[in-house]
Amino acid sequence: MVTGAGGALGAELVTRLGAPGTPPGEPGDAVVGLTRAELDVTDPAAVRAAVRAWASASGDGAGDGPAVLLNATAYTAVDRAETDPDAAAQAHAVNADAPGLLAAACAEVGARMVHVSTDYVLGPLPHGARRPLEPDDPTAPAGVYACSKWLGEERVREALPDAHHVVRTAWLYGARGANFVRTMARLARERDTLDVVDDQHGSPTWTADLADGLIALGRSSAPAGTLHAAGGGGTTWWGLARAVFDELGADPERVRPCDTASFPRPAPRPAWSVLSDASWRAAGLAPLPPWREALHTAVRHHPELLLG
């Protein structure tokens, strides 16, 4: 079962799970994908009913429940959540309350849950150290969005202590919806030069790669816990913008570096959120491709990304 099936990641999960031709040896998957319009994940009764119906339809008649619920639902308008009380309430309901409701419903039917979280929950390393971040590094969520996502993690852990995976990722872009890559491609056509922040570091992640990783995790026997999964390596927003220009055949020198202070935003952004894949590999899972390789592959298979 995929919740948030209308979003960039959720739609990718449904497509890949429902696509014909599963890998050799795989039995295939019966998939239920639910969009926000189809399931209000903030409604306790609706969540419980949907998960129970799914469990009943997915069981083998001997009382077995479904294998895994993949929760890709999230409220991501981070700046609006800082300035609009209604948006802040919605962020809390979707990012904090809903994962707990879904996890509790999974516990009732004996299902596992994979919950997608974010680099925003992590804090800076001690003494200004710069190394890829691990799941057990300090958390220090700042802002409404980050705090709501951290609470969502905690509620999943509490409701499903032995049957959950919290997967933190970063800097997602996909074939569907607005994202940084598509925005940079549009601005490359509209402006002669472009100033982009060069003091925020992260791991750009192609949704198709993450979807494949989440599906592999769901099919695995990895123990419950928190993992990091993102494009390999790291860069800055400036570095990612230059890579987009390069994919367009445009001159990357048109992209000029600037600092965060030059573009103040209501919600604080992590200065360092390059994620380590050590926990992912330790769980027996194939690491996601390096971010630059993934971008090239994404553009080759989805040229509409560069249409902006």
Q: Which residues are catalytic?
A: 145
β-pairing, 235-236 vs 172-173, is: unpaired
Please give the Cα distance from 110 to 252 (Å, whole number). Answer: 51
Q: Give, in order, the Cα–Cα distances in Å from 289 to each of 26, 39, 237, 294.
A: 22, 33, 18, 6
Q: Six-digit token pair at 307?
A: 């249409």
Please give the Cα distance from 237 to 184 (Å, whole number). Answer: 10
List the Cα angle 132/147/10 in 5-degree steps: 75
β-pairing, 201-202 vs 235-236, is: antiparallel
Q: What strands lie across the sheet with 164-169, from one edge to the other?
A: 33-34, 2-3, 68-71, 112-118, 164-169, 225-228
In one letter, which amino acid is 90? Answer: Q
The residue behind tokens 């971008």 is: 295
User: Of the candidates 69, 61, 6, which has an alpha carbon nearest to the alpha carbon of residue 34?
Assistant: 6
Beta-bridge partner residues of 69: 113
In one letter, which amino acid is 78? Answer: V
User: Of the candidates 11, 149, 12, which has an alpha carbon nearest to the alpha carbon of residue 74?
Assistant: 149
Residue 19 DSSP symbol: S
List the Cα angle 59/65/67 in 5-degree steps: 105
Q: How many CB atoms lie within 10 A of CB 66?
A: 20
